[in-house]
Amino acid sequence: MAEPGDEIGVVGALVRSAFLVNAVYAESGREHGLTPQQGQLLCVLMGKPYGMGELGATLGLAKSSLTGLVDRTERNGLVRREPDPQDMRAVRVALTPQGRRLAEEFYVETCKRVEKLPAALSAAERDTLADLLGRIIVDNKVPMVFLEA
């Protein structure tokens, strides 16, 4: 139960929630030997391989930052570059079998941890929270960067 003076506005609540989720994401990543950015990359690639341009837009990274991230993750044996069947000049980034296993482990563990964050809310409050956040995500056209648990 909130104490008098504990009330925060929507901006503070959203920013502090983002920090909270990012902290959980980073902790889970460290335990799996991943940087937060590598964890994001693996989670995005769980759905399908992506072209570099599409991947950069989804992750919100500049071309040089994305190239470095993919290079490092590729050296670790977690992703591979493959020819794009639609454009032979382009490449797609896909998970390797090792990357898929690690992505699934990281994903499951991270979902468990994030699921605990609203544990003090009732089922109805959790549903309301999901509906409201879902509207914000849709209204702002946030790309799919984490599959639904």
Complete DSSP assignment for 15-38? HHHHHHHHHHHHHHHHHTT--HHH
Q: Is residue 47 part of a domain?
A: yes
Q: What total number of domains does the chain contain?
A: 1
pTM above 0.95, yes or no: no
CA distance 112 to 24: 10
Residue 108 maps to which CATH number?
Answer: 1.10.10.10
Q: Is residue 79 part of a domain?
A: yes
Q: Is residue 30 part of a domain?
A: yes
Q: What is the pLDDT of residues 3-56, one digit of tens each?
A: 655 788 999 999 999 999 999 989 999 999 999 899 999 999 999 999 999 999
pLDDT confidence of residue 144? 76
CB 96 within 8 A of CB 79: yes
Q: Is residue 95 part of a domain?
A: yes
Q: Is residue 60 part of a domain?
A: yes
pLDDT band at residue 87, thresholds of 50, 70 and 90? confident
Q: Is residue 120 part of a domain?
A: yes
> Which of 17-26, 64-73, 113-122, 140-149 shows the lowest per-residue confidence on average (mean pLDDT)?
140-149
Q: Is residue 11 part of a domain?
A: no
Q: Is residue 102 part of a domain?
A: yes
Angle at which helices 36-45 and 52-59 pack, to 10 degrees?
A: 120
pLDDT band at residue 148, thresholds of 50, 70 and 90? low
**Structural domain of 108:** 20-139
Q: What angle do CA 71, 72, 76 make, to 5 degrees?
A: 115
